Chain A
Amino acid sequence: MPDLLLELRSEEIPARMQRRAADDLRKLVTDALVERGFLYEGAKAFATPRRLALHVAGLPPRGQDVREERKGPRVGAPEGAVQGFLKSAGLASLDQATIVTDPKKGEFYVAVIERPGRETLDVLAEILPQIIRAFPWPKSMRWGKASAQPGALRWVRPLQSIVATFGPETETPDVVPFEIDGIVAGTTTYGHRFLAPEAIEVRRFDDYVQALERAKVVLDVERRKDIILHDARDLAFARGLELVEDEGLLEEVAGLVEWPVVLLGSFDAAFLDIPAEAIRATIRANQKCFVLRAPGTDTLAPAFILTSNLVASDGGLAITAGNERVVRARLSDAKFFWETDKAIRLEDRLPKLDAIVFHEKLGTQGARVERIAALARELAPLVGADPDLAERAATLAKADLVTEMVGEFPELQGLMGRKYAALQREPDSVAAAVEDHYKPVGPSDRVPTDPVAVAVALADKFDTLVGFWSIDEKPTGSKDPYALRRAALGVIRLLIENTVKMSLLRDGYQAAADGLRNYGDATKNDTSANEVDPEASSLLAFFADRLKVYLRDKGARHDLIDAVFALPGQDDLLMVVRRVEALGRFLETDDGKNLLAGYKRAANILRIEEKKDGRVYEAAPDAALAARGEPEERALAEALEAARDKASAAVAAEDFAGAMQALSTLRAPVDAFFERVTVNADEPALRTNRLALLNALRAATREVADFSRIEG
């Protein structure tokens, strides 16, 4: 079966776009083929800085013949109908149609259309230019003379040549005949820009890969990554060092070379005074080099690994020397930043934060720091932190934003603050909180456990959430520019994983809103004690949604979360989670399953009867009436009263397992009730009382959750 080889050779493709582009190319071409009925055995795409390549194996040489019968009008139908039929079937006259006789409909015309399968080569010649013209690059450009005309080809960088061949393994393949903006598909490509500048003739995929390899191009990015990683490890090992591995950097570097040549450079050990993270950040971000460390330690070595794209005639001496020069200059800058930063105490930097606008409607960073400090102080007792330390940590938490180092490497925010705080002899918990108050960033990040850090982290996130809520910048759909979902998840993880009990509305929302009073309109409607601010309920609902996502990842059922949140006043996330857990365990027992079934039955009967009667049975059941009825009726009445009191007391004591236990005593009397007692008794008073009993069951279960939200 024949194969397709496609290569699109261009000027240097940004590293970050290569992998996606290869995937897109494979998908677009194979989808277009399948859509036209051309199945294939396998397809693989590749990318280097200078080319995208695609191999589609096992295509048929031509498509399948298609035979189609199209029914036409009756024989003797009006001229208009006949003409319409001829036109749609592509026939010149009725002579080309056959006449078919049907016992019911009589005689009518049928057109038999036979289309021979198209040559795959022709189909490719049609598909490929369309795909190339509409290729989904994140950013594309025009170039050269052709760009004077509207509709000129766009590509990520100028497209230089196209190889497109199709044919079986045993024969010379055909060139797929197409041309785009003057670029004619052919069989010529070029290897490495410097190491093999001559033209290469290729036929099919196998010899293409080999020819490129000879011309110093490693086509497969995974192989380039392997080479870089192994050579880097080996070079490090030979020096008694260990590579600090970095998958993101490896991927990027592999996208910057066609023929990786790994070299080791070094720098003056005096630079190791600079914090290791800053050394790594500058060498990584600016030079795209790896750092090294002493094996098994976190101590950086004064050396780095660079990946060049050249087998240099001097063995890489000049390249290494050049890179060392640049690294030296970069580290000199970093050292200068570090020394300059150290000379100014963090608290002396605070006035500068007043000049930085955090958000137009929410004031400056300086104002934000004041709010967070006050809030951290308020939250401190709830998390077991010293209020003075929490306030101090919050006051210093953002000061590193105006240091030289963080100005240069924003990703070091927090970390540099911690270093500077430690240097000025702040208490350990304060220094740690300066770094950790940003955490957790996302679902897998570490959650701080030190109470001071927890207080500041909560204050930071509440200020953000309540602030943006108050100016109506809530996340919508896929848009969440201020990462509010992440902040809410952070609050959830901080509270749950540190088992912190607090009222989100009072301790979080209201406290933050009080601080924000002067910004936006967080508290435009000062809420009295009994009234829930609509912004607050909307934020609480947002937390409930985020909590569902968080618990779902941990395997909890979302209906149970709904069942708990449906109860009034559920704004203590730790309690919600404990209740959900207890409920989940309860519903896995036989008692729980049967009680739920009994509840559903009771709720159903109530729904029907309440609708029929046009009233709600809310009154407490009458013990005397129950005593007059069946023994099961009396037993249930007694059990309900006892269970409800017990469950309520257990909930008050935050003993959710105990509350479930109390409910579980209802199972037997409920089952017996439904077994023996007819709810719709003839005597109206008895009927009413029995319905009231069912309602009492509904009410008793509401002590732990709204069972109506539970599925199953």
Chain B
Amino acid sequence: MSSASPLSSAADLAPKTSFQGLILTLQRFWAAQGCVILQPYDMEVGAGTFHPATTLRALGPKPWKAAYVQPSRRPKDGRYGENPNRLQHYYQFQVILKPNPPNLQELYLASLDAIGVDLKLHDIRFVEDDWESPTLGAWGLGWECWCDGMEVSQFTYFQQVAGFECAPVAGELTYGLERLAMYVQGVENVYDLNFNGGEGADRVSYGDVFLQSEQEYSRHNFEAADTAMLFRQFTDAEKACRTYLDAGAPASETERHRMAQPAYDQCIKASHVFNLLDARGVISVTERQSYILRVRELAKACGAAYLRTAGGGAA
């Protein structure tokens, strides 16, 4: 056994040998395409799309290019760490390009090449998958991107966000990082992924980092989450969102909205709280629809407010 030594070679951060190497490679690739590389949004979200850098920035006329990793929480998908493919917390790599460049498909394929998917060996396919987020009042057309029969990304041309037509349309790419990493590392169980590229004693696996938290959060999501508190939080977030929207509302036609983003945070909050309540099984089928509608109303109101800000292109 060699004693612990600093990881030195670049190979350790190669996309095919470490989870973090995969992330770094994607970041470098999209940085080279002129994207701002953001850090994850500091709130619990169900998908990278909720990040204001996507939802809000997709609105209005201003060009925007960004890429970021977003931890995504799907409370219902928890499996107590026992399923090799399902997690209640996982990472998405999100790219948003507005307007979408004409060669977005080529760029996407080049990014696969960059992370070590040899396009001469692997069968990449764009299979119809129309995307819709009922809570965000958003939809788009696009594909699931398949690599040898496995879905590795979502590719969407946003048509509407928060109930507003996208003008111009943004292209959104979402890479399922764990799945992609499992593929390039040739691993069948997510917890076996090499996280840091180290070998022997230096090796840190995905399981080392996340197994315990998957177990704990599964317990929390399905058994323990305080539903009375969550119901309160949902109502509070909904109320706060409206309050902030009112407080920041422009006094006249010519003025801007002054608090669209803090209001949107409350919309995100409500959405996540709803997901937790749903996982706890305390929302009936009929109520479910009405909760989704309530979140959508918030999203729409926030979208409308954002369009009255500088970022949303208001004069």
- A252-291 residues with Cβ-Cβ distance < 8 A to B are 256-257, 287-289
- Interface of chain A, helix or strand or loop or mixed? loop
Minimum CB–CB distance from B189 to chain A (whole Å) comes to: 10
- Would you call A326 and B169 a contact (CB within 8 A)? no
Instruction: Report B146-184 CB contacts with A as 1/0, cut-off 8 Å.
Output: 011110000001010000001111010000000000010
A705 in the interface, Cβ–Cβ < 8 Å? no
Tell me which of B16-24, B124-132, B268-276 binds A.
B124-132
With contacts A144-B99, A310-B123 known, is A322 near B148, CB below 8 A?
Answer: yes
Tell me if A239 is interfacial: C-beta within 8 Å of chain B.
no
Q: Which of A141, A306, A332 is B141 in contact with, Cβ under 8 Å?
A: A141
Q: Given A15-B128, A326-B150, A356-B285, A144–B122 Cβ distance below 8 Å? A: no
Instruction: Report yes or no: A144 in contact with B141, Cβ–Cβ below 8 A.
Output: no
A288 proximity list for chain B (CB < 8 A): 149
- Distance to closest chain A CB from B283 (angstroms): 11
The docked-state distance in angstroms from the alpha carbon of A306 to that of B119 is 18
Contact B149 A322 (CB under 8 A): yes
B170 to chain A, nearest CB (A): 9
A687 CB-CB contact with B under 8 Å? no
Give the A-B pair count, Cβ closer than 8 A.
Answer: 115
Residues 56-86 of B, flagged 1 when their CB comes within 8 A of A and 0 if not, give 0000010000000000000000000000110
With CB as the reference atom, state the residue of chain B lying closest to A330.
B149
Of A33-41, A312-320, A415-423, the one touching chain B: A312-320
Across the interface, A141 reaches (CB within 8 A) one of B124, B128, B159, namely B159
> Within the assembled complex, what's the spacing in Å between the Cα atoms of A314 and B119?
12
Quick check: is A612 within 8 A (CB to CB) of the other chain? no
Q: How far apart sit A150 and B118, CA to CA, in the bound complex (Å)?
A: 40
Knowing A148-B167, A158-B157 touch, does A11 contact B121 (C-beta < 8 A)? no
- Whether, in the assembled complex, A120 has its beta carbon less than 8 Å from a beta carbon of chain B, the answer is no
Query: In the complex the two chains form, what is the Cα distance from A659 to B272 in whole Å?
Result: 74
Bound-state CA distance A16–B128 (Å) is: 9
Question: Scoring A residues 24 to 50 as 1 if CB is less than 8 Å from chain B, else 0, what string do you get?
Answer: 000000000000000000000000010
Partner of B149, one of A145, A306, A356: A306
Contact between A139 and B141 (Cβ–Cβ < 8 Å)? Answer: yes
Specify the chain B residue showing the minimal Cβ separation from A150.
B167
A329 to B188, CA, bound (A): 8
Decide if A244 is an interface residue (CB 8 Å cutoff): no
Q: Smallest distance from the beta carbon of A362 to chain B beta carbons, Å?
A: 14
Task: Give every chain B residue within 8 A of A237 (Cβ-Cβ).
Answer: none
B183 touches A322 (CB 8 A): yes
A312's partner among B102, B123, B150 (CB-CB below 8 A) is B123
The interface size of chain A toward B, counting residues with CB under 8 Å, comes to: 50
Partner of B121, one of A14, A147, A314: A314
A312 with B121, Cβ < 8 A, contacts A158-B102, A322-B149 known: yes
| A14: chain B residues within 8 A (beta carbon) | 128
Please tell me if A194 contacts chain B, counting CB pairs below 8 Å: yes
Q: Within A136-165, which residues are at the interface with B (CB < 8 Å)? A: 139-150, 156-158, 160
Q: Hey, which chain A residues are within 8 Å of B198, CB to CB? A: none
Which of chain B's residues have a CB closer than 8 A to the CB of A157? 141-142, 157
Contact B167 A313 (CB under 8 A): no
Which of B100, B120, B166 has the most chain A CB atoms closer than 10 A to its own CB?
A: B120
Cβ distance A329 to chain B, nearest Cβ, rounded Å: 6
Q: In the bound complex, what is the Cα–Cα distance between A549 and B253 (angstroms)?
A: 62
B286 close to A (CB within 8 Å) = yes
Residues of B within 8 A of A (CB): 61, 84-85, 99-102, 105, 118-128, 130, 140-143, 147-150, 157, 159, 166-169, 171, 183, 188, 284-286
Q: A12-B143, A148-B167, A322-B183 are in contact. List 17 more A-B contacts (CB 8 A).
A: A12-B126, A14-B128, A141-B157, A142-B157, A142-B166, A144-B168, A147-B169, A157-B157, A158-B100, A194-B124, A256-B127, A310-B123, A312-B121, A319-B148, A321-B148, A323-B149, A329-B84
A-B contact pairs, 5 of them (CB 8 A): A16-B128, A143-B171, A147-B168, A147-B169, A157-B141
